[in-house]
Amino acid sequence: MSEIRTDPLTGFTTIFAPERARRPIKISDNASQYIPTQEQIDSDPFAEGKESETTPELFAIRPPETKANQPGWKLRVVANKYPALTPVSEVDEYGVHEVIVECPQFETHVTRLEPTQFQYIFQAYRQRVATHREDPRLNYAIIFKNQGILGGASLGHVHSQLLASHLIPQALRQEVIAARAYQLEHGYSLFENFTRDSSDGYPERVMSSEYFDVICPYASRFAFETWVIPRSLKTHFDQSSDQELDDLACITRLLLSALESLLGRHDLNYVIQTPPYDTSEQDGYTWSLRIYPRLSHLAGFELASNAFINPVYPEQALEQLRKQLGC
């Protein structure tokens, strides 16, 4: 029997269809589809040694003896050559669109990167979000990763993107409003409630680390959707400490590797959902990292209704993730 659930934070509705969950979860047993061709490697504009093929670097992690826009870097941030928003627009359309190139070598799957490289990635995320906080024309910034065709990536080399804008998306406004209303009504955060056992007996928490809780949301839109929430309930991502970032890098790598073990190599998105810059702690909102495995295309129903069909209950995903992680 199908079940309809609505997320109390996002307002999104998901139809869980257990009969569809009986289908195989792996999208392919053919790992060769993820093996890059020599042509892809040779034409990679993000590779070390091709710095002139990108816009000048805005930030980089590199040894002090190396020079900007030259080889030797570990991670680079550059302006997107084909931006959705530009800093030469009028105030209402003003924005920034950046690319975080996550490693110097050609690599298509972030799970292949070393733990230190993950630390560099999250350090860069924090630095860029904090940098744009200083621009009074910008109200909001989001970090996101598109990996693979289903994830919307246009280039194979692992990278993330940042968009910062005057415009605050309506979906995020909805989340802040819902979090604020819950805080006022209950006296504690909705995000805190996510990591407790819910009233219907469904525990959403997969695992905990020193600084983070991992959950499979009650109304997950995507199979094996997973959120990472700071245990401090900190409002803004760029307020994270060095220790928190190191823990986040470790747990994100662990989760992505566990999902890959369960699902095979797959396309995905993840998002660091952090609220508008002027959001206060009193609003009860907490930033989070949200992982969306992309096992199939969005189809006509989703596009027409803005509701989602998920073949895997979060209870199933949680149980399998716990087993894979040894929890």
Q: What pLDDT sits at residue 72?
A: 97
What tokens appear for 170 in the block?
């309506």
Over residues 4-31, the pLDDT tens digits come to 999 999 999 999 997 765 554 444 444 4
| Tens place of pLDDT per residue across the chain (327 aa) | 789 999 999 999 999 997 765 554 444 444 445 677 777 778 899 999 999 999 999 999 999 999 999 999 999 999 999 998 888 766 667 899 999 999 999 998 899 999 999 999 999 999 999 999 999 999 999 999 999 888 878 888 999 999 999 999 999 999 999 999 999 999 999 999 887 755 554 567 899 999 999 999 999 999 999 999 999 999 999 999 999 999 999 999 999 999 999 999 899 999 999 999 999 999 999 999 999 999 888 888 888 998 999 999 999 999 999 999 987
Q: Nearest-CA neighbor of 140 among 82, 99, 98, 96? A: 96
The CA-based angle 43-152-104, given to 5 degrees, is 40
CA dist 136 and 148 (Å) reads: 35
Q: 3-state class of 294 per DSSP?
A: strand
Q: What pLDDT sits at residue 194?
A: 87
Coarse DSSP helix, strand, coil percentages of the chain, rounded to the nearest 5 percent: 35, 25, 45
Report residue 43: phi and psi, to 5°: -95, 10
Is 228:289 a contact under the CB 8 Å cutoff? yes
Is 74:139 a contact under the CB 8 Å cutoff? no
DSSP readout, 46-87? TSTT-GGGSPPEEEEE--TTS-TTSS--SEEEEE-SS-SSBT
Q: What pLDDT sits at residue 74?
A: 97
CA dist 179 and 75 (Å) reads: 35
DSSP readout, 90-155? -GGGBEEEEEEE--SS--S-GGGS-HHHHHHHHHHHHHHHHHHHT-TT--EEEEEEEESTTTT-SS
> Which distant-in-sequence residues (6+ apart) come within 8 Å of 317 by Cβ?
216, 220, 223, 224, 225, 226
80 — alpha (psi -120 to 50), left (phi > 0) or beta?
beta
Number of residues that this document lists for the chain: 327
Q: What pLDDT sits at residue 66?
A: 96
CA dist 189 and 88 (Å) reads: 39
Q: What pLDDT sits at residue 27?
A: 42
Give the chain's domains with CATH numbers.
Answer: 3-325 (3.30.428.10)
Q: Nearest-CA neighbor of 150 among 266, 235, 4, 256? A: 266
Cite the DSSP H helix spans in 187-241. Answer: 190-194
Q: 3-state class of 211 per DSSP?
A: coil
Q: What pLDDT sits at residue 34?
A: 62
C-beta pairs of 15-19 under 8 Å, 24+ apart in sequence = 15/307, 15/308, 15/309, 15/310, 16/310, 16/311, 16/312, 16/313, 17/309, 17/310, 17/311, 18/311, 18/313
Q: What pLDDT sits at residue 32?
A: 47
